[in-house]
A and B are shown apart, each in its own frame.
Chain A
Amino acid sequence: MAEQGPLLALRGVAKAFGGVNAVQDITFDVQAGESVGLVGPNGAGKTTLFNCVCGQLKNDRGSIEFEGRSLRGLPTYKRARMGIGRTYQRAEVFADMTVRDHLMVAERARSRAGRLWKDLCNMSRPTDEECEKVEGTMALVGLTELADTPVSALGLGNCRLVELARALAGEPRLLLADEPSSGLDEHETADLAAVLRIIQRDRGTAVLLVEHDLGIVAEVVDRAVVMDLGSKIAEGSFEEVMEDPVVRHAYLGQSV
């Protein structure tokens, strides 16, 4: 593992869909334990960039390195095992599972303890240690009371929390959160911001946060990257980039 190098390094990443350049020539770093906001108007290419980092899409050009290792050609699940956790813009939950099961399955997937023969010998009941971890994560995100509810009975807001908790159960070193606050009310959003700060501060997890709610971005991130129409148009502290006239024009153009 590179001692000094960045946790995630994007160099000239590009991705086109037919004629649409969804992501063009994006270059930036995320340091270990750092919290970076990725903002931009609708269709800027934020989700596409996430998909390139996680391997759901293959970038056409450029390189993506995680802890100094190139991710080229690695399938999604291997990237996840390297320590990249992710939540989705369109909540992706496992419909017939309870909240606790979500975390347990993530824990098992992370530790790769799954063996068919263990199942057959009834040796795969959750261990005390696993239960403790799962309870801890649920408490952190505030889902303890819903632990045994099937997610099909939860609202969208809670589903987002389940996704976040599931990603955290995998103990990622980098968390990619795609609009985690959409569908949450004000109160829940404030709680979410608190959770994001805690995981960054206490667990040392780096966070790359996509958000339309600039309030939460301002509160959580150390640094922000602004995208528009697939390109990076600014980078710096949140206040800095918000002062940038290019950003004001592109991003806040409609509201200024």
Chain B
Amino acid sequence: MEQFLGFAVPGIPYGCTYALVAVALVLTYRATGVFNFAFAAQAYVAALLFTALIQSAHLSEWLAFVIAVVVVSPLLGLAFDRLLFSRIPNSNNMAKLVTSISLLVGIPALMQVFIPQNYYAPPSIVFNPNTVYFTLAGAPLNGLDMSAIVFTALVLFAMGVMMRLTPLGLQMRGAVESRRLVQLDGVNAGGVVAVAWMISSFLAGFAGILLAPNFSQVQAQPFLTLMVAAIAAAACAAFRSMAVAAVAAVLIGVATFTLQGYLPTQSFLFTSILPSLPFLVLVGALLFHPGMRKLDQATDPLASVDPPLPPLAAAVRTPAMGRVISVLWYVVLGLFIVSMLTWIPRDWESVLNQGLAFSTLFLSITLITGMGGQLSLAQAGLAGVGAFTAAQLANHLGLPMMAGMVVGAAFAAAVAVLLAVLSLRLRGLGLALMTLGAALVFDNIIQSSQTLGGGSGGLGPMNNVDWGSPFGLLNPNGHALFLATFSVLVVVTLAILMIRRGTVGRLLGAMRGSETAAAGIGINLTWQRILIFALSGAVAGIGGTLLVIQQGVANPQQFNYVFSLAFVVIVVTTGVTTVEGAIQGAFGYVIIQKLLGYAPAQFANLTFVLFAFGALTYAQHPEGILEFQKRRSMQRFEPLFERLFPGSQPDAGSQGEPLIAGGLSEEAVRG
């Protein structure tokens, strides 16, 4: 017992910081319908700002606290609400998810651009970190622990009092019980939602400065871990009860530390499973908590269908223009191939090769999200499954990488199918969290295992195996690698275009449009879902292997879940519904990355900032900002073409009465 408590007690302070964020998650989700992944980023911003104000601006702790946590954090939340989330129609779950994920990806990157210094840990507030205030069952509680426990307790208590006793609290409680009521209550809806955002952002900021002193430097990583634990805790409460979420959060902290104490430090359980504990909790909640299956389900009488995407640029252009553009495409393609083989310098050739590999990887997102309508946050992980399979087969069995790629693709597809089967009943947010959990479990296993993932340096060719074999075909020093990668991309692209045009594409289109009606005409949704996961997994596996061949080493870092999130953000920016979208996203990504290499180091992260801000337009332009621009510029050129080729009309019109307006008014009549 003594030993147990000795292990368990140090988990409480961590559990407290998780609790603050978990409560914040539940509060915003219930009151506004937004699941805000970005709280991790907000916690990080608060911690960084707090530290910078103290260490660079030499403000007093208290002033720094007031500015970072009491003023800036809530304002940031308010800004998110007013500028972004309040403009997204309530029914558009995909847009809400994409927006909050882009904030999660973009904000830490932006901070690193503006505040590039490394800061040491900030002081803990009020309590002295070097003093042991009390010993609980033999476990010493120092000032850091004390401030986490005491302030969490105070803040949550104050919140409880406010929710119960003040009129504002009552309204918020109303919002938490039924956000519909608040929204229907015309006068106060916006205000209550804004207040909910401010309070939850305050909680996240507070969690940030309570957590930061535990780490030697202020970096983004611990805040992502914090986020994951908080999500798991909130999931235990089915995103419903703040009290349950807070208790679950503390228990997760305690359980982690207890297991850490008991498990042998070198064991697989210790290194791989323990860090995944929050995910296992999350996955467990998703699978077994009945409340989680109801997330995002349209039981809501006011929910309406997502506004349909505008027709693709390709669909609205005049036939003459279409012909000219497709000829141009071939010309560009030809120039690209010739240039790659002749004048492009070696370092740029390898960058563009990477672009080809990323294009393949990104096409897996086109498949699952663009065609299948499912948001998956595990694509980098699936790419990693394929890549490491191929690399291990090459190292241990001497299998050529190209053959390994096929096996890796099959294995990644199998993992994706397993994921699909586990998440058959989940939609939207539930599915996003499930795939995120899977990506994290993969990360922890591959990163912590020297044998599987090659440790921190990654897994390179071993046992005198040459990854470039046979015949040096894949040797990164020749044009052959370009030709091989390019051919694979062409094959994958053609396959996807065929599928999209064929029966499977049509059936998926139906499923995307309305699952109810799709099942009603005899489409087996389960099977379609498994199929699209398998295809997407296979393509991701191929892309991952190409990337690894190109780089000559399989590095677990390259496939971690942050990339899964970032990739979705990138593809959504350039257009998730078209094949060009993925390819443009990939080339944009590698080229910007390369160009930023010439700038000072702090700008390296600007790529993610750019794409994240691009993705924030998703709510307005779900077809992708690039696609939107294409359509606009095409409309500008149209008159010219009309004059050159009179009599050619656009194929499809996009004017007319929008469907939702009709649907809504009809609902109103019924209601």
A interface residues, Cβ below 8 angstroms from B: 42, 54-56, 75-78, 80-81, 85-86, 88, 90-98, 101, 104-106, 108-110, 112-116, 118-122, 124, 148-156, 159, 163, 166-167, 169-170, 182-183
Contact = CB atoms under 8 A, between A and B. Distances in A.
A112 B524 CA distance: 10
Nearest to A121: B498
B118 interface: no
B513 interface: yes
A153 B655 contact: yes
B414 to A, nearest CB: 16
Q: Which 5 A-B pairs have the closest CB atoms?
A: A94-B513, A119-B502, A156-B662, A95-B308, A114-B503
Interface stretch (B167-175, B222-230, B646-654): B646-654
Interface in B525-546: 525, 531
Interface string B491-512: 0000100110111111101101
Given A94-B509, A152-B308, A114 B504 contact: yes
Contact of A95 (B309, B520, B523, B666): B309
A94 B306 CA distance: 11
A96 B308 contact: yes
B658 A152 contact: yes
17 contacts: A56-B516, A80-B519, A88-B516, A93-B517, A93-B659, A94-B514, A96-B513, A101-B509, A109-B523, A112-B522, A113-B503, A119-B505, A152-B308, A152-B309, A152-B656, A154-B659, A159-B659
Contacts of A88: 516-517, 520
Contact of A77 (B524, B654, B658): B524
B517 A120 contact: no
A124 B503 contact: yes
A174 B667 CA distance: 27
Contacts of A95: 305-306, 308-309, 513-514, 659
B665 to A, nearest CB: 8
B311 interface: yes
Contacts of B514: 92-95
Interface string B467-506: 0000000000000000000000000000100110111111
Nearest to B577: A96
Interface of B: 305-306, 308-309, 311, 495, 498-499, 501-507, 509-510, 512-514, 516-525, 531, 651-659, 662-663, 666-667, 670
A108 B236 CA distance: 42
A115 to B, nearest CB: 7
A149 B651 CA distance: 9
A24 B517 CA distance: 26
Nearest to A123: B502
A150 B503 contact: no
A237 B61 CA distance: 84
Contact of B531 (A96, A116, A156, A163): A116
B509 A150 contact: no
B652 A77 contact: no
B522 A81 contact: yes
A105 B656 contact: no
Contact of A80 (B522, B654, B658): B522
A120 B498 contact: yes
B522 A110 contact: yes
Given A77-B522, A122-B498, A156 B509 contact: no
A236 to B, nearest CB: 28
A170 B522 contact: yes
Contacts of A80: 519-522
Given A94-B513, A118-B503, 10 more contacts: A75-B519, A90-B667, A98-B652, A106-B522, A108-B503, A119-B502, A119-B504, A124-B501, A150-B652, A169-B521
Given A108-B507, A114-B504, A92 B516 contact: yes
Given A93-B514, A119-B499, A155 B506 contact: no
Given A77-B525, A155-B656, A118 B663 contact: no
Residue from B308, B311, B506, B531 whose CB has the most chain A CB atoms within 10 Å: B506
Contact of A96 (B495, B509, B651, B662): B509
B651 A105 contact: no
Given A152-B659, A153-B655, A156-B659, A93 B513 contact: yes
A207 B283 CA distance: 45
A81 to B, nearest CB: 4
A2 B29 CA distance: 53
Nearest to B505: A119
B378 to A, nearest CB: 22
A75 B90 CA distance: 30
B133 to A, nearest CB: 51
A20 B235 CA distance: 29
Contacts of A101: 506, 509
A91 B663 contact: yes
Contacts of A182: 666
Residue from A85, A113, A156, A183 whose CB has the most chain B CB atoms within 10 Å: A156
Nearest to A153: B656
Contact of B520 (A54, A108, A118, A154): A54
A110 B506 CA distance: 13
A149 B653 contact: yes
B498 A153 contact: no
A156 B510 CA distance: 18
A66 B387 CA distance: 51
A30 B331 CA distance: 63
Contacts of A116: 499, 504, 531
A121 B501 CA distance: 11
Contact of A149 (B652, B658, B666): B652
Contacts of A153: 653-657
A55 B507 CA distance: 20
Contacts of A167: 520-521
B290 to A, nearest CB: 15
A104 B522 CA distance: 13
A109 B507 contact: yes
Contacts of B499: 116, 119-120
A113 B510 CA distance: 16
A29 B135 CA distance: 76
B658 A105 contact: no
A91 B63 CA distance: 57
A97 B525 contact: no
A146 B519 CA distance: 25
A156 B506 contact: no
A13 to B, nearest CB: 19
A133 to B, nearest CB: 14
A115 B531 CA distance: 11
B257 to A, nearest CB: 42
B522 A155 contact: no
